[in-house]
Every structure is written in structure tokens, then in C-alpha cells.
Amino acid sequence: MKRTAAYLASVVTLTLTGVACVLLDPVPELVKPPRRAPAIVKTAAVPDTTRPLLELPVEFVVPVRVPDPGQDFVWGFFVDFDVARPLVGRNERVAGSPTGKDLTTIVVGGSDIANIIDLGRCHRFEFVVSLAWDDGLHQSDPAVTDSISWWYVPDGAGTCGLFDAASLSALDASADGGDSGGAL
């Protein structure tokens, strides 16, 4: 009998000690899942990005899939990705849909662009979406960013070069700073 009572007392003591430990231990920190970047649905963007633009479109329509309902994001539209030039349209934070609808459509008007570019020259238009944005540098974290771009080729011939390398021949120099005039 004494043995049974001692056994029961030890079981009760261990049980209460275990319960006390569970009640007194702090709740462990839950690991937050990594933030998932908004993604541009490139196949549904208008105009089509697989061909150069021969004329400036009335608007650019960019569908953005937000993987986490209710998550907001920022976007920017650039011409020739010139950090000295202000963004075209708006660089605004867009609220994600709390209803779980995961597609948001952004529209950038062509008239906003026509007012700041030379329509006779080639340009690259780029639309960027991100969870985080540095306004001063026009930069975003690549891990949470997506982009899409269009080439504007007004002459239709595709003769837009990035630059004329021959015009930089005066700047050509060897690695030690002198002009070696020959092979390295």
C-alpha cells in the first residue's frame, strides 16, 4: 500500500512539474515565412513585350499577382531607367486585396510618357514592382522584385543602338593607364 501511495505521489509530482514547466515556459517565437515578391503576369501585359513598339501605345496595362492576400507593394515606371529622371506616372504603394483576389492591374498612360521623351528616338520602358523601394536610388531588393520592359523603336528598323562604340575610341587605354597601342 505504501508502495502504491509512493508511486502515485511520484506520478502526481512529475505530472504537476511537467504542467508547471509547460505553463511557465515562454511561447517559442514562430518563424515567419519569407515575404514573397509580387509577380508580373508577363503573358497578359499590354502591349506585347515580344515585339518592339513602333508607336507609343495609349496605355501600358500590367497585371501583377500578389502571392499574399492583403500584402501591399510599390511600383515604378521608368524611361531608359535614368535615375536622374523622375518616374513616369506614379511610384505608389498599392494595397493588396484583403479578399484574397491575387491580381491587381496597373495602368500607365502613354500621354504621361509622350510629354517627357523624344518620340523620334529609341527608348526602353521598364515597369518594376517590389515589396521594398528606395526612392532616392530608384532601387529595390532583387529578392522581392519583378520587372517587365518594352523597346520603343520609332523607325521600325531596329537600328537603335545602346551607343556608338567608335565614338569612345579616344577613351580607350590600357590597364596601366597608358596607351599601349597593341595587344595586351
Residue 20 lies in a domain: no
Q: What pLDDT score does 11 carry?
A: 58
Is residue 46 a part of any domain in this protein?
Answer: yes
Q: Where are the alpha helices (DSSP H) in the chain?
A: 2-24, 110-114
Give residue 56's pLDDT. Answer: 92
**pLDDT at residue 96, as a whole number:** 54
Backbone torsions φ then ψ of 92, nearest 5 degrees: -125, 160
In this prediction the pTM is 0.63
At 98 the pLDDT is 46
Q: Residue 76 domain-assigned? A: yes
Banded model confidence at residue 73, pLDDT cuts 50, 70, 90: confident
DSSP β-bridge partners for residue 151: 124
pLDDT at 183: 45
What is the residue range of 58's domain? 39-152
Q: What is the CATH number of the domain that holds 66?
A: 2.60.40
Largest CA-CA distance found in the chain, in angstroms, rounded: 106
**Is 25 a residue whose pLDDT tops 60?**
yes
Per-residue pLDDT band at 54 (split at 50, 70, 90): very high
Q: Is residue 81 part of a domain?
A: yes
Question: Does residue 84 belong to any structural domain of this protein?
Answer: yes
158: burial class by Cβ within 10 Å (0-12, 13-18, 19+)?
A: exposed
Q: Say which residue, 170 or 110, is predicted with more confidence.
A: 110
Across 25-34, 82-91, 99-108, the highest mean pLDDT is recorded for 25-34
List all residues 6 or more positions away from 124 whose beta carbon is below 8 Å from its beta carbon: 79, 80, 81, 149, 150, 151, 152
Give the residue with greater pLDDT, 131 vs 82.
131
pLDDT at residue 47, rounded to an integer: 96
Q: Is residue 121 part of a domain?
A: yes
Residue type, 111: S
Q: What is the pLDDT of residue 58?
A: 92
Question: Number of folded domains in the chain?
Answer: 1
> Looking at the domain assignment, is residue 167 inside a domain?
no
The pLDDT score that the predictor gives to residue 92 is 57
Reference 35, options 77, 68, 82, 2; nearest CA is 68
Is the predicted pLDDT of residue 59 greater than 80, yes or no? yes
In a domain, 19, yes or no: no
pLDDT band at 29 (very low <50, low <70, confident <90, very high): confident
In angstroms, the Cα distances linking 155 to 46, 55, 120, 151 are 21, 9, 8, 12
